[in-house]
Amino acid sequence: MYNMTVKQVREGLKEMKTVIVPVGVVEQHGYHLPLSVDIHNAQEIATRASALSGCFVAPTMHYAFSGGMLPGTINISPQVVSLVLMDIFRSLVKQGFRNIIVLLGHGGSENTAAVKDAAMNFQRLEPSLEGICISVVPFWELSPAYMRSFGEGDYHAGKYETSMMLYWKPELVQMDEVAVDSQELLDKLRADPDAYADKNKAVDSPFVMPKLVQNPAIEVGVMGDPFSASAELGKTIAEQCASGLAALVKQLEQRP
């Protein structure tokens, strides 16, 4: 849609009622990957799924909630993420779209919750809207190859994300700059990706909410093994994700 005209959107809506909204984030991805990794992943998969299915792709939402604090990371409050998406949904539905797929390029637990809240609350607060279907799709769940990363403790800026970037944006990958934090810290982050944040309570009480701050020992932020990445693996992941997403589009278009 980014490069389409009013006439092209109007004509396209006569044949297709499904649109993908890619959602990325601007956040650190080590020394070898750009801040835009999650943006590219969402946008590239959506574009390939569109080529297979003929669905629309809305302009990618660049800003969201990372939770990280290393230089370059730009956080938007989770509540704002939800509100922005709800407004996007409203605009798309008013144009005539009936199926909205939010494609997540970033997997942070807080951001994912915010996106799901937007999808549920929009439909709940707009009961008069009939025939609307909103889906939230974390891209990695479309790829059996990528899902192996979790069993390997490879979460962030590691083998799998680096492989995807080597496939579609190799000019942005600097393998000669690959670095990781201390082995002790790396092992901790690979065992629990949420360990990037320290939780502290002023008072030891179940009613007191913890204060979360990024572990000050983190300087690089890689949670995986980028040294074993390959463009071939990235291609496999891309094809699986695009095929799975296109299948969802077909399913949505065929519903009553």
Residue-wise pLDDT for 1-42, tens only, equals 999 999 999 999 999 999 999 999 999 999 999 999 999 999
- Mean pLDDT, the chain, as a whole number? 95
Does residue 164 sit in helix, strand or coil?
Answer: helix
Using CA atoms, how far residue 101 sits from 15, 126, 137, in Å, is 17, 18, 7
In the chain, the N- to C-terminal Cα span, in Å, equals 25
Do the Cβ atoms of 82 and 63 come closer than 8 Å?
no
Whole-angstrom Cα distance, residue 117 to residue 111? 10
Do the Cβ atoms of 45 and 103 come closer than 8 Å?
yes
pTM beyond 0.75, yes or no: yes
Give the count of beta carbons closer than 10 Å to the beta carbon of residue 151. Answer: 7
pLDDT digits (tens, 9 = 90+) for 148-164: 999 999 989 999 999 99
Radius of gyration of the chain (CA): 19
- pLDDT band of 51, cuts 50, 70, 90: very high
Nearest partner of 135 among 146, 144, 122, 148, judged by Cα: 122
| Residue 212: strand pairing partners | 199
User: Which residue stretches of 154-216 are H helix?
Assistant: 159-168, 183-191
- Residue 256's pLDDT is what? 84
Nearest partner of 224 among 162, 164, 174, 170, judged by Cα: 162
Do the Cβ atoms of 101 and 20 come closer than 8 Å?
yes
* Strand positions, DSSP E, 119-252: 133-138, 197-200, 211-214
Superfamily of chain region 6-253: Creatininase (3.40.50.10310)
Q: Where are the domains of the chain?
A: 6-253
pLDDT digits (tens, 9 = 90+) for 97-148: 999 999 999 988 999 999 999 999 999 999 889 899 999 999 999 999 999 9
Residue 120: which H helix or E strand, with range?
helix 109-125
